[in-house]
């Protein structure tokens, strides 16, 4: 499975790895909805992500609007490039912390 969703106390942890495509979008959205209630922050690990579809990025933008806080602490270069290609840096600004 190219994603994992876990909840700890008040944090939703989302791990995206490999290729996450439209094929997983419905299941990913449903899984997030199951555990999002009561979470005050979302941490998205994309360090192992190689490719991501636009619909997944749109899902993350929607999550950005829903969650009180969202962070992408270790974004893969591929993730950052796709965010930029889709013009979504502004929507996810402040949440993406690129490695120096």
Q: By residue range, what is the domain housing residue 19?
A: 3-85
For residue 46, pLDDT beyond 70: yes
Please report whether residue 47 resides in a domain.
yes
d(C-alpha 52, C-alpha 93), whole Å: 18
Please report whether residue 41 resides in a domain.
yes
Please report whether residue 21 resides in a domain.
yes
pLDDT score for 94: 61
CATH of the domain at 77: 3.30.750.24
pLDDT band at 5 (very low <50, low <70, confident <90, very high): very high
Q: How many structural domains compose the chain?
A: 1
Helix (H) or strand (E) holding 84: helix 77-85
Query: Strand order of the sheet with strand 69-71?
Result: 3-8, 11-20, 41-52, 69-71
pLDDT digit string, tens, across residues 60-76:
999 988 888 899 998 99
Q: Which two tokens stand for residue 11?
A: 């944090």
pLDDT score for 95: 64
Please report whether residue 93 resides in a domain.
no
Please report whether residue 30 resides in a domain.
yes
- Please give the backbone phi and psi of residue 9, each rounded to the nearest 5 degrees, phi first: 30, -85
Please report whether residue 97 resides in a domain.
no
Please report whether residue 94 resides in a domain.
no
Beta strands 69-71; 41-52: pairing state: parallel
Q: Mean pLDDT in the chain?
A: 89
For residue 57, pLDDT beyond 90: yes
pLDDT score for 100: 39
Please report whether residue 43 resides in a domain.
yes
């Amino acid at each position: 499975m190219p994603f994992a969703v876990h909840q700890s106390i008040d944090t939703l942890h989302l791990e995206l790895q490999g290729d996450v495509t439209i094929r997983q979008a419905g299941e990913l959205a449903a899984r997030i909805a199951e555990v999002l209630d009561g979470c005050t922050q979302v941490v998205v690990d994309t360090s192992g992500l190689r490719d991501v579809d636009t619909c997944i990025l749109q899902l993350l933008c929607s999550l950005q609007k829903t969650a009180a806080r969202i962070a992408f602490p270790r974004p893969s270069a591929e993730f950052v490039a796709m965010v930029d290609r889709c013009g979504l840096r502004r929507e996810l600004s402040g949440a993406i912390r690129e490695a120096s």
